[in-house]
Amino acid sequence: QAARRIVLACLAQAQANEAGVLASADIEYVHQLRVALRRLRSALRLFREVVQSYPETDYAAQAQYWIADIHYVRKDYEKAALAFADVLKKYPQAGRGPEAMLKLGLSLINLEKKKEGCTTLAAIKQKYPKASDAILSRAEREAKKAGCS
């Protein structure tokens, strides 16, 4: 939960100042956006240290998920796809598996790898039969949106 709060606070600060940067000449928006980005980079470093120092723990699984999610939110879909794939490979039974698979599929679609992304979205229910209805319905919505068959 602490990791989630850290990431969400950084993202909220960045998003709150993004519109100001684009629409205003006020330098304070730029400053606050830079602070938010520095905090995100610090969070990434911290999560990487957890993964390296405690690779066999639930903390590492959570940290790897948050590394991937930070890349995803930053629209760095290449790094996000690789990091979500690591979550699924190294921590397949961690609680974040269904979410990681969903976001892997979405990252692939955003990278114009539609076939792979659609296949990934379609496989969530089979790989994670107990995935939440929210994850499964979002996967279905996103697959339709992407034109998956």
Q: 119-142, pLDDT tens digit by residue?
A: 999 999 999 999 999 999 999 999
- 4-44 residue pLDDT tens: 788 788 888 888 888 888 888 899 999 998 998 898 888 89
Q: Is the pLDDT of residue 61 over 70?
A: yes
Is the Cα torsion angle 41, 45, 51, 54 positive or negative in sign? negative
Return d(Cα 2, Cα 6) in angstroms, integer: 6
